[in-house]
A and B are shown apart, each in its own frame.
Chain A
Amino acid sequence: MKLNVFRLAIGFAQPRGGETAVLEDINLRIPAGEFVVILGASGCGKSTLLNVIAGFLKPSSGEVWVDDRPVSGPGPDRGVVLQTDALYPWLDARENVGFGLKLRGISRQERRERADEALRLVGLEDKGDHAIWQLSGGQRQRVSLARALIADPDILLMDEPLGALDALTREQMQDLVLEVWARTGKTVLFVTHGLDEALYLGSRLIVLGGQPGRVLLDKPLSFGRRAVEERIGGRIKSTPAFAAAREELHDLFFAGAER
């Protein structure tokens, strides 16, 4: 499913009147199956953009289209994973994963089967009966990912989903996300502020920046796909090509400050 964003602008009303523009003139054409990484400094409007695409926020102007329909609100065609897991602590892990199916009135038995299947996909097949507070941060994020996947959305919107994890868990989860993408062929929009994470995961990199925020850079990437195809995973981060790309990206952010 393709995702199109036309001349999008978003501003927030200020308490004392007036409006601050957060994003301006954002145009994106994202074909199905792409892994788009959105990179930018904190506060540049990454979450705002994702919230508009998810349908949680109305833009000030411009439009978001999924295939041939304009987005007017949230919908099950766009799955969402956030930085804070936002799981439902009164449900166990399996019920959390099956939550979207419950909303559709699917029977308990089928919910259970499909939730277990989704838990297997994220490597938590033995944790279905666990309460949320019994899971580690990484496990919780896997549950959130499974919860988003079970509704079988065409587009996966992820807002710094690995931001709160420790470095090792984060690397593991990067591989999991890549694997899920490669296996399901879903369109992914992945927000991050990590340079390595952005370069490693994306099949396309979009850098946001400026006041108000605009698209500063939009270019294809191939590290993630190669890492999956060649089965080398995170080791691709040690290749000269990766280092060169990292340097280039680093300069884009910090060159001005160093001179």
Chain B
Amino acid sequence: MTVAVPVPDAALPFIVPAEGIPAGVDDARPHRTEAAAITGAGPSAQLWISLATIAGFLVLWWAVTASGAVAPLFLPSPEIVVARLGRLATEGFVDGTLAQHLGASLLRVFAALGAALVLGIPAGFAIGSSPIGRGVLDPVIEFLRPIPPLAYLPLIIIWAGIGEAAKVLVIALAMLPPIVIATAAGMEGVDRNRLNIARALGASRVQLFRHVVFPSTLPSILTGTRIALGAGWSTLVASELVAATRGVGFMIQSAANFLATDVVIAGILVIAAVAFAFECGVRVIERLFVGWSRRG
């Protein structure tokens, strides 16, 4: 299995530090995307363009609703959605405030992430380090990877019931493949010379792993974690389809039953904002712990 792990790098504008490349770095790689190099748009220009695009969408949304061309049932105006967000936070919807729904969802995603990391990282190392590990685990991961979580959700409900465990399990299963694949790919990429030098300095097998293999693989693991979080959020809503009483996904679906479009849109925005915050969080962790990997 040599599946290239997609790295959605150019996706977010804030990857690039607004202050630019630190001074005194003689061989820092250019951080600009190729497209940016062609158009001559620097990192801060990129950020402004992104902000302007977002503002443009908001204006368009507002204009369409204000003109009365679309009924509020289909698309409520931004003001209505914002007002609804406020009431969701205070009064709540279907038996829970926004914080309670969000808390339930976050708990599921975090529990699933924990499980996926605990199982996925060792599995990835096993695939990357031994033909036996690869032989056993590769088919499992390759089987799991292309199946949409919704397809195995019914099976998991039959096995694990309709409680929290089933929900966490579905999300964890969706998160597992990217973490395993990224870990294995990272391990295969460990520089031979770095390993040999450590062996020449007297490293035992355990020390090789701890002081060379693991740090070398960490950037890859974090990339896998970012991708896994994306998969986790998309699976969350599906997992809350069944027998949930709390959760942002549950809130959105209940709202849809009542045709409360403003709640649906507010819920979507909340999920987007939280997912974005997670993405930022992982990037901060990357910057702190594996900043070296971007410098070459």
Contact = CB atoms under 8 A, between A and B. Distances in A.
Interface string B266-296: 0000000000000000000000001011011
Contact of B295 (A75, A103, A133): A133
Contacts of B33: none
Contact of A75 (B25, B200, B215, B296): B200
B55 interface: no
A102 interface: yes
Nearest to B214: A90
Interface string A131-154: 111101000000010011001000
A103 B200 contact: no
Interface string A72-90: 0111101110101011111
A102 B199 CA distance: 13
Q: Which of A82, A90, A132, A151 has the most CB of B within 10 A?
A: A90
A259 interface: no
The listed residue with most B CB atoms (<10 A of its CB), out of A56, A79, A89, is A89
Given A133-B292, A133-B296, A88 B215 contact: yes
B202 A90 contact: no
8 contacts: A74-B202, A76-B202, A79-B201, A80-B200, A88-B211, A90-B290, A99-B211, A147-B197
Contacts of A75: 200, 202
For the complex of A and B, the 7 pairs showing the least CB-CB separation, nearest first, are A86-B193, A100-B201, A133-B295, A74-B199, A89-B292, A80-B200, A76-B202
Interface of A: 51, 54-56, 73-76, 78-80, 82, 84, 86-90, 99-100, 102-104, 131-134, 136, 144, 147-148, 151
Contact of B198 (A55, A79, A103): A103
A90 B200 contact: no
Contacts of B27: 133, 136
Contacts of A144: 197
B129 interface: no
Most A Cβ at <10 Å: residue of B201, B295, B296: B201
Interface in B194-221: 194, 196-204, 207, 211-212, 215, 218
A81 to B, nearest CB: 9
B26 interface: yes
B287 to A, nearest CB: 13
Nearest to A100: B201
A100 B202 contact: yes
A55 B197 CA distance: 11
Nearest to B293: A89
Contacts of B26: 134, 136
B191 interface: yes
B197 A90 contact: no
A144 B197 CA distance: 10
Nearest to B295: A133
A250 B207 CA distance: 46
A68 B180 CA distance: 46
B28 interface: yes
Contacts of A89: 292-293, 295-296
A144 B203 CA distance: 16
A47 to B, nearest CB: 11
Nearest to A134: B25
Contacts of B191: 86
A133 B25 contact: yes
B203 to A, nearest CB: 5
B196 A103 contact: no
B201 A99 contact: yes
B207 A88 contact: no
B201 A76 contact: yes
Q: Report which residue of B28, B203, B212 has the largest number of chain A beta carbons within 10 angstroms of its beta carbon.
A: B203
A90 B215 contact: yes
A56 B198 contact: no
Nearest to B199: A74
A82 B191 CA distance: 13
Given A132-B292, A134-B26, A103 B203 contact: yes
A103 B209 CA distance: 12
A93 B25 CA distance: 15
B31 to A, nearest CB: 13
Contact of A78 (B200, B292, B296): B200
